[in-house]
Amino acid sequence: MFKKYQLVFSTTVKEYFAYRLNFVLWRLRMFIYLASTYFFWQAVFEKNITFGHYDKSAILSYILYVSLISNFVFGTRTSDIAAEINDGSIINWLLKPISFFRLYMAKDLVDKIMNIAFSLFEVWLIVYFFKAPLIAPKNILLASLFFINGLAISFYVNMMLSFIGFWTTEVWAPRFVFMIMVLFAAGTYFPLDILPPLLYKIMIMTPFPYLFFMTTRTLVGRTDGFVLFEVLISFFWVIACFFLAKRIWKKGNKSFSFWGR
Amino acid sequence: MISVNNLSKVYKVHQRRSNLLADIFFRKYKEIVALDKVSFSIGENELVGFIGPNGAGKTTTLKILSGVLYPSSGNVNIWGFYPFDKKPDFLKQIAFIMGQRNQLVWDLPAIDTFKLNQAVYEVPENEFKKTVGELSELLDCRDLVYKPVKTLSMGERMKMELIAALIHQPKIIFLDEPTIGLDIFSQEAVRNFIKRYQQEFKKTIILTSHYLEDVKRLAKRLIVIDKGKILHDGNLKDILAKFSNEKFVSIILEKEIDETELSDIGQLVSYKFPKAVFKVKKNQLAEKISVISKKIPFADLNIEEERIEEVVKKMF
Ligand SMILES: Nc1ncnc2c1ncn2[C@@H]1O[C@H](COP(=O)(O)OP(=O)(O)OP(=O)(O)O)[C@@H](O)[C@H]1O
Ligand SMILES: [Mg+2]
């Protein structure tokens, strides 16, 4: 039963090795982002102030952990789907006794693992050479819960964004909007809870903070006690995204005309 | 086994408008009727050819039969399955092969795709080995499976595609223009493969092609389709009998004769000494032959059917 997804996994790994250089260059870019964010915050904390309940070591740890976790959460192959819809090659998968969602979970896992492997190395470089004050991870159980929910939300949102390809070839537009929102509202460059409380309260109603911000915040121990509300909202978004993605998939399959001779 | 009843497919084509907002929220659609109440049924181990001009609805039919497309109306039933449901038990018994569309992983050797398919279709190892062996034997390409797909020629790649698609030993095979874009040698190889494969393994094959050669060589039964409607469904002989009312009489002359003299006898299609060919209405055949034998000394006389290409062309 799982053998097929195992094979999808190993075949995808082989494909990655056919494009080693591409991948290394991509990682180099990601490393530059990470390093610049890290040094930005280090410069800000020269005078050892605090932001909200983040002191220097907390915020630098946050940046490093976010880098690791977001790399894993965002690792995906789903951006191929729109092209597969458009050129009709998706038919190859549709007509096989395999679940399309699980297929892409397996493929995504490859991308995630490749990314995290490099990411671990990059974070280690910074910790080792710049003596980063890394806080030991805390609240692992709660963090894992947020982590898994973040993975699920990210996966189903990615699937939905790809399925737009059933209706239009301009799939980049919604994905672009999504990425802008992520940049702004997911907490890649700073912890969201240093924002004004009202803005923060509004934000945590959206799915974005549940991608990896909640996980990281929990790991660096900056959760103020009671998080049941956040847990519930994260589950809400997992369930909502799951059903929406499935629905769009069904609808797309019915209405799409599958181009090609 | 396959039964299709009043099947219709209407494509809705989104008509782009210059106003982006109107384009998104008030979409206009044009309807294209690709299949119009088509009915037929196909039994076990049949090899059926679909022919028809561009846009006739051949590919649309195969896409519905395989479960890719959702039909607009009508019934499709394959061993009790409704193809669009894509039940695993159904999918395991079919294969859909489209010329020039590949499933092979481009950067890896074909064997990797074979193994992936083996896992996907849950084919036991010994069966897998046997099938790959037999198929590469039939296609004469044993050593190609370990070469990266991107380094293969087009004909070689098509052979690998065929193996990849047949690893799970499907009972029904849909072939949409399997020889398109191939050189004549590869076309021949693919044709021979399909023929032998069908004979040896007793499969149901439904084939479309632009090349009449494919259909003529492979299929006993032809379904002729145009503008979404079936014009004829029967074997080659029936089509000739129904739609061809002319025959060709060719003779080998003993000595050279003036062309006008030949033209007097009947409609001369070609004349190049020693061979002359007449086109004759079927009902005048006996009469014409007796005239020819009386007037012209010949060494040999042959009666030939009109070519299927010509017959089919006249049908549309
Ligand atoms: N995805 C699609 N969207 C809209 N119209 C389509 C689509 N696919 C096919 N059509 C239209 O439906 C009709 C039938 O197309 P189909 O592809 O079935 O023809 P075909 O017999 O396979 O032709 P060909 O010999 O050129 O491959 C054509 O008029 C075609 O333009
Ligand atoms: Mg076609």
* Strand residue runs (E) in chain A: none
Q: Which ranges of chain B does DSSP label H, i.e. alpha helix?
A: 20-25, 58-66, 88-91, 110-120, 125-139, 154-166, 184-201, 212-218, 236-243, 259-265, 285-295, 308-315
Question: Per the CB < 8 Å rule, is B101 touching A8?
Answer: no
**Whole-angstrom Cα distance, residue A134 to residue A64?**
8
B9: in domain: no
- Final residue belonging to a domain, choices B226, B241, B256: B241
Residue A104: closest CA among A121, A85, A119: A85
* pLDDT higher than threshold 50 for residue B94: yes
Q: How many distinct structural domains can be found in chain A? A: 1
Q: How many domains does chain B have?
A: 2
Tokens representing B307 are 């070519």
Residues A36-58 have pLDDT tens digits of: 988 888 888 877 677 777 888 88
**Tokens of residue B291, six digits:** 């005239």
Q: What is the CATH number of the domain that holds B266?
A: 3.30.70
Whole-angstrom distance, CA of residue B95 vs CA of residue B175:
8
State which of B203, B226, B241 marks the end of a domain.
Answer: B241
Give the integer Cα–Cα distance in Å for A127 and A187.
Answer: 21
Verify whether the Cβ–Cβ distance A94 to B112 is below 8 Å.
no
Q: Which two tokens mark B100?
A: 């020039």
Taking CA atoms, B309 is separated from A102, B191, B213, B223, in Å, by 48, 18, 9, 14
Q: Is the peptide bond before B274 cis (omega within 30 degrees of 0)?
A: yes
Mean of pLDDT values over B44-60: 90
Q: Is B59 on the interface with A (CB under 8 A)?
A: yes
Q: Which range has the top average pLDDT, A236-240, B142-146, B299-303?
A: A236-240
pLDDT class for B63, splitting at 50, 70, 90? very high
What pTM was estimated for this model as a whole?
Answer: 0.87
Residues B82, B87, B93, B95, Cα dihedral to 10° = 80
Lowest mean pLDDT among A85-89, A94-98, A111-115, A140-144: A85-89
Average pLDDT in the B271-281 region? 88
Q: Are residues B164 and B250 in the same domain?
A: no
Share of chain B above pLDDT 90, in %: 50
Cα A129 → chain centroid: 27
- pLDDT score at A252: 93
Contacts of B115 in chain A (CB under 8 A): 7, 11
- Lowest mean pLDDT segment, chosen from A91-105, B152-166, B226-240: B226-240
Q: How far apart are CA B63 and CA B172, in angstroms?
A: 13
For an interface test with A, which of B15, B17, B69, B173 has the most A Cβ atoms less than 10 Å from its Cβ? B69
Residues of chain B found within 8 Å of residue A250, distances taken between Cβ atoms:
none
What 3-state class would DSSP assign to A208?
helix
The lowest-confidence range among A42-51, A201-210, B58-67 is A42-51
User: For the domain that residue B182 is a member of, what is the CATH number?
Assistant: 3.40.50.300
At residue A225, the pLDDT reads 67
Q: Do the Cβ atoms of B25 and B87 come closer than 8 Å? A: no
Q: CA B112 to CA B106: how far, in whole Å?
A: 10
In a domain, B2, yes or no: no
**Confidence check: pLDDT of B237 > 80:** no
Q: Does the distance separating the beta carbons of B121 and A258 come in below 8 Å?
A: no
Residue at A260 is within a domain? no
Give me the pLDDT at residue A48, please.
65
ipTM entry: 0.85
pLDDT score of A261: 45
Res B58 pLDDT > 70: yes
CA–CA min distance B103, chain A (Å): 6
pLDDT in tens, A165-192: 998 888 888 889 998 888 889 998 889 9
Question: Does residue B96 form part of some domain?
Answer: yes
Least confident of A40-49, A212-221, B50-59, B102-111: A40-49
Task: Indicate whether B228 and B259 sit together in one domain.
Answer: no
